[in-house]
A and B are shown apart, each in its own frame.
Chain A
Amino acid sequence: MPDLLVEARDAHGGARPRARTTRRGGDRRTHTNSAYLFLAPVFLVFGLFLLLPLAHAAYLSLFDWDGLNAGTWVGLENYRELLTSPAIRSAFLHSFVLILFYGVLPIAIALFLVSLISRSRHVRGLGPYRTLLFLPQVIPSVVVAIAWRWILAQDGPLNELLDAVGLGGLTRPWLGDFETALPSIGLIGTWAYYGLAMVLFISGVQKIPQSLYDAAHMDGAGPVREFFAVTLPGLRRELVVAATLTVAAAVATFDLVFVATAGGPGNATTVPALEVYRRAFTNGEVGAAAAVATVIAVVVFALMLAIRRVGRTPEEREAGR
């Protein structure tokens, strides 16, 4: 998927300067018409399997419906309930906390490590290394959750380690403690996603021309300066991709929480998607569940637009896109 995104971006990006000139030139229509023809199959599949269900879910959210009996049209009542529900509020709050752990933290860690790698440009054995980094992405998150539940248990390896180094006072059932459950879930996410960010950044940093590093070197830039002047701007696109993927994962997370804590202790780790599941499948409130799902979609979309805006290149900013 990331490769696809990168390719799509490259194709578009490559055409950009020409597109800007042709907009003034006037022969833009012929370009776009044939493009639509090629895009049609994609749009068809996209619309049929993504937009339509999405719209259907939004439509369902306007009903009081248990999924079986006749539904009653309630208009925006489900949304009104949702806005006043403390359970939903805390669920979204938790997912924003998870953005820090799923997105900000992995990206920061990966940037730091990549900036080290970028100093020595010829990394030997990059293939296996990349595979290892990507491993958490390949393991089903249910397995990840079970493994971490074991690691974080009262008599799990983490607490044993703490005991061994004389920090026995800190031991606790990490996923069962009201204070540490959410950060623990978050750190599992950090573990799962920093590899993804790493893989993206490694491939990105290799595309940065060596000449830029040489120039920075000639100008007497230290490692910090070099990072901010060369590596970071060079990784802009990868940063946007990484942020997009991880932030979406944070807001939409379900399986990890479902298996690791089931939203507990109390409601300390409930997330919006878990509320969707509960409402639809245990409480028999399909309409209300669809309302939560719709709000998740809107929130994710808003966050994506924000990331996209922040991640614009100077040229794009100039063009007002």
Chain B
Amino acid sequence: MSLLAIATRCAVVAALCAGGVSAAGCGSTPSTSGTSGATAPDGAVKTGPAAVRAAGRYTLEVLDSESYSPRTELMDRINERFERAHPNITVKRVTKAFQDYMSSVKLTLSGDNPACVAMGDQGRDVDGQLVRAGLLRPLDDYARAYDWPVDRTAQWSDGGDVWGEGETYSVSPFYNVIALYYNKAILRRLGLAPPTTFDEFVRSLEKAKRAGMTPIALGNADRTAAAMQYEAIQGQFVPKEQLTDFVFRSGDDPTFDHPGNLDAATLLRDWTKRGYFTEGYSGLTPQDAVTRFIKGRGLYHLTGPWYAGMIADGLGEDAGLMLLPPRNPGASSVATGGLGGPWHITSGCDEPDVAAAYLDFLIGPEVARMVADAGELPSRPEPAPAGASPILRQLFAARDELQADDGIVPFIEVAYPGFADSFYGALQELMEGRVEPAAFVERIEQGYTDHFEAAG
């Protein structure tokens, strides 16, 4: 083989390796002059149908990551409704699968003609970087004018360095709650009622295991599901303020090094050792797990609302849903979740009034009803639709309870870029007993302080 052929091969391979990077790199080079954060114009913003009419014939470009059925069809219907309400507007929607979307959104929005409305993702690794790069328009003016609800996960200040306070940058029509789904038939067979305290819940796990059943259906091949289990337990042991302080890096002592985390880590390890999770969970995907749960191979399943429809259809009458019961009887429940994927207006948007009207429409009552009718959970406290399954009703009730008692805590893995990976990896090691709970807590804390020290 000639040297040229070898060199070609090498270069092809190397270019493939570098592919992701050169995609980022081709034509775009780190500039030495920084981009400054976008600031809202001083003039008062225009709202409502008149503001949209004033734009004349206009094509509103929208980028979203809602590519999965039935969410994608729902988004199409929502856009049609918006166009019908505003005949001068055409919505041009571009959607990509979540993972592809998130890996490209920063580049897409930093291009010359970014879309007017774009989704991001909660947390410092996506939204934080978009704000830092000045790609998003702060929305406080519109939020005040339209009276949008305020949520810490949507707030950024200091050019994206501070999260959880400051200007609002996004809204979301959807809501997430990590809830405890259960199989009523199995509970009955075990002679149990749905647990009302955390201790009762733990006892029911042991009882199910003794009876030869899988207490909790889990599939962690994608590494995210174990984090949901951990966060659910963590919510029972670490005070809510401590948790939010860790995520937003607020308060006097934002830290992972809290005794509650040691308790949660110890318990998760203990449950794994006792075989409370599906055997071979580490090689199963979340879909595998929910399929098993539907087939009666699992008493409980801890997951988000995205599987509610599947579980309602699969288990029918036997499907039950509750929030993980609190440790102290009578205390209010705590669950992971909150607003769904954030919707932003880009700083390059030439018709922010139209974009803001679109966002307001997304979180308005009409879309909330469409969301609920589609079997999904709207962020707006809209009641469950008339024909909703019991599961969906319970899901709506859980959302109302959490919103009323301020019981929702954000997913912790978005605390800083790269944390998710190390957190997921550390959890797998913890569950398999390759790292002790104390060392687990220490490692997470170390990564956390290292990151923010390096960031200054």
**Residues of chain A whose beta carbon lies under 8 Å from any beta carbon of chain B:** 5, 8-9, 12, 46, 49-51, 53-54, 56-57, 59-60, 63, 65-72, 149, 152-155, 172-178, 237, 240-241, 244-245, 248-249, 251-252, 254, 261-267, 272-273, 276-287, 289-290, 293-294, 296-297, 300-301, 304-305, 308, 311
- B12 at interface (Cβ–Cβ under 8 A)? yes
- The answer on a CB contact under 8 Å between A71 and B421 is no
- The answer on a CB contact under 8 Å between A304 and B34 is no
- B331 at interface (Cβ–Cβ under 8 A)? no
Closest 4 CB pairs of A and B: A154-B280, A71-B30, A176-B282, A173-B283
Which chain B residues border A273 with CB–CB below 8 Å?
A: 17
Which chain A residues border B110 with CB–CB below 8 Å?
A: 67-68
Which chain A residues border B222 with CB–CB below 8 Å?
A: 262
Query: What are 6 A-B contacts with C-beta separation under 8 Å?
Result: A50-B11, A59-B25, A71-B31, A262-B223, A282-B420, A284-B106
Give A277 Cβ to nearest chain B Cβ, in Å: 6
A267 to B426, CA, bound (A): 8
A284 to B107, CA, bound (A): 11
- The answer on a CB contact under 8 Å between B18 and A240 is no
A56 to B26, CA, bound (A): 7
- The answer on a CB contact under 8 Å between A53 and B35 is no
Q: A176-B283, A248-B13, A262-B223 are in contact. Are A284 and B125 (CB under 8 A)?
A: yes
A69 to B455, CA, bound (A): 14
Q: A70-B33, A153-B288, A176-B281 are in contact. Are A267 and B425 (CB under 8 A)?
A: yes
A129 to B297, CA, bound (A): 42
Give B102 Cβ to nearest chain A Cβ, in Å: 7
- The answer on a CB contact under 8 Å between B26 and A53 is yes
Give B410 Cβ to nearest chain A Cβ, in Å: 18
Give B220 Cβ to nearest chain A Cβ, in Å: 7
Q: Contacting B14 at CB < 8 Å: which of A67, A245, A293, A311? A: A293
A56 to B19, CA, bound (A): 11
- Nearest chain A residue, comparing its CB with the CB of B11: A50
Q: Contacting A265 at CB < 8 Å: which of B135, B417, B429? A: B429
Of the candidates B8, B13, B107, B133, the one having the most CB atoms from chain A within 10 angstroms of its own CB is B13
Which chain A residues border B32 with CB–CB below 8 Å?
A: 70-71
Which chain A residues border B434 with CB–CB below 8 Å?
A: 178, 266
| Chief secondary structure at chain A's binding surface | helix
A153 to B288, CA, bound (A): 10
A280 to B28, CA, bound (A): 14
- The answer on a CB contact under 8 Å between A293 and B24 is no
- Nearest chain B residue, comparing its CB with the CB of A12: B2
Which chain A residues border B39 with CB–CB below 8 Å?
A: none
- The answer on a CB contact under 8 Å between B1 and A289 is no
- Nearest chain A residue, comparing its CB with the CB of B416: A283
- B22 at interface (Cβ–Cβ under 8 A)? yes
A71 to B282, CA, bound (A): 39
Which chain B residues border A71 with CB–CB below 8 Å?
A: 29-32
What 14 additional pairs, Cβ within 8 angstroms, besides A67-B110, A68-B129, A289-B21? Answer: A49-B15, A51-B11, A54-B14, A57-B18, A67-B106, A68-B35, A152-B283, A178-B432, A265-B429, A266-B425, A266-B434, A276-B18, A276-B21, A305-B6
- The answer on a CB contact under 8 Å between A5 and B12 is no
A289 to B432, CA, bound (A): 30
Which chain B residues border A261 with CB–CB below 8 Å?
A: 221
Taking CB atoms and an 8 Å cut-off, the chain B residues in 39-97 that contact chain A are: none
Which chain A residues border B442 with CB–CB below 8 Å?
A: none
Give A45 Cβ to nearest chain B Cβ, in Å: 11
Q: A68-B135, A173-B284, A276-B18 are in contact. Are A53 and B25 (CB under 8 A)?
A: yes
A70 to B31, CA, bound (A): 5
Q: A56-B25, A264-B425 are in contact. Are A284 and B17 (CB under 8 A)?
A: no
- The answer on a CB contact under 8 Å between B18 and A301 is no
Which chain B residues border A54 with CB–CB below 8 Å?
A: 11, 14-15, 18, 22
